[in-house]
Amino acid sequence: MTFRKAELQDAEAIARIYNEAMPPGVYVTPELAQVTAESRRRWMSEVAEPFGTWVLEAVPNGVVGWCSLRPFAVRPTYPRIAEISAYVTIGKRGLIGVRLLACAVHVARRRGFRSIVSIVSDKNRVSVSGCVTYGFKPAAVLYEVGRLGGNLDNALWLQKSLLVDDPAPYRKIRDRILRTECADERTYL
């Protein structure tokens, strides 16, 4: 697998993976309809470095996941804080998510970010567990701010300081991933 900076031609895969994970009306999302490749191209073009979008590509499957670092929506002017998102295609979830998270945290550190924030539904146990295991800490809960399957849902804000090393269980995995998927920094920095 290869972790690389997303290109505009990846927009179709990025939209497909997002739509698989976030069907309108089911999960807490600002989208009222499925996103399109064109809307993802515009979305990708809206941010400048040090922010961006990256993909994890597998042979022969193509793009199997993507992640982004975006300005922190609440206070986009806060220095060196990014909001992180990661999505994995159905059938490839699990270790692909770990790989994306490891690579995204590495990129964020290399680009000088001090902290990253992930905003997830508190019912999304897989994402919450993965983030907490990787060293994210609960920072805030916004109660009943969205709908999940017709019910009110809470948004959990998880924050990771990039000024301290990753937790011990992840260091070995991270280092192996960085030697393989993230070996060529020219493809993503």
Note if the pTM is more than 0.95. no
As a whole number of angstroms, the distance between CA 10 and CA 161 comes to 30
CB contact at 8 A, 84 and 158: no
pLDDT digits (tens, 9 = 90+) for 104-136: 999 999 999 999 999 988 888 888 888 888 889
User: Residue 163, CB half-sphere, CA atoms under 13 Å: how many?
Assistant: 6
Average pLDDT, the chain: 85
Predicted pLDDT of residue 30: 54
Predicted pLDDT of residue 24: 56
- Sequence letter at residue 115: S
DSSP 185: G
Nearest in space to 127 (alpha carbons), one of 114, 115, 136: 136
pLDDT digits (tens, 9 = 90+) for 49-78: 899 999 999 888 899 999 999 998 787 778
Where do the structural domains in the chain lie, given as residue ranges?
2-117+174-187
pLDDT-above-90 percentage for the chain = 43
- Our separate counts of H helices and E strands in the chain read 5, 7
User: The domain 2-117+174-187 is classified under which CATH number: 3.40.50.2020, 3.40.630.30, 3.90.380.10, 3.40.50.720?
Assistant: 3.40.630.30
